Amino acid sequence: EVQLVESGGGLVQPGGSLRLSCAASGFTFSSYWMSWVRQAPGKGLEWVANIKQDGSEKYYVDSVKGRFTISRDNAKNSVYLQMNSLRAEDTAVYYCARDRLGGLDVWGQGTTVTVSS
């Protein structure tokens, strides 16, 4: 079964850091771009970042540039999102998703990040 499972969310103070992980199974992970998408409470979807199959290209939404870093480990079938200097507006459910020709065809269940003092 094709599956993505996120972990690492939690409560963090403003200015703090958190590392999200996404474990993939059921498909050849190293063949796909991977993305992170977030959804603030009661709001719409926002694309956050994506990474090429070999990790050589990475792109970010402007609001997280310089604070978030996407990475992957193809040997572990995992993609990560390192989040530093967190702000209240980063509070959201974070989803990882498989990128197939631009469309996100497989999604995880999401992990919740809450930034609050």
Partner 1 sequence: QSVLTQPPSVSGAPGQRVTISCTGSSSNIGAGYDVHWYQQLPGTAPKLLIYGNSNRPSGVPDRFSGSKSGTSASLAISGLQAEDEADYYCQSYDSSLSGSVFGGGTKLTVL
* Residue 103 CA neighbour count, 13 Å, CB half: 1
* 108 binding partner 1? (CB under 8 A): yes
> Least distance to partner 1 from the beta carbon of 44, Å?
4
**Closer CB to partner 1, residue 42 or residue 117?**
42
3-state secondary structure of 39: strand
In this structure, the number of other CB atoms found within 10 A of the CB of residue 91 comes to 17
Is the distance from CB of 56 to CB of 72 less than 8 angstroms? no
* 32 binding partner 1? (CB under 8 A): no
Rounded to a whole number, what is the distance in angstroms from the first to the last CA of the chain?
A: 39
* 11 binding partner 1? (CB under 8 A): no
* 2 binding partner 1? (CB under 8 A): no
Q: DSSP label at 85?
A: S
Stretch that binds partner 1, among 15-23, 68-76, 78-86, 108-116 (CB under 8 A): 108-116
Residues at the interface with partner 1 (CB under 8 A): 35, 37, 44-47, 50, 59-62, 95, 100-105, 107-110
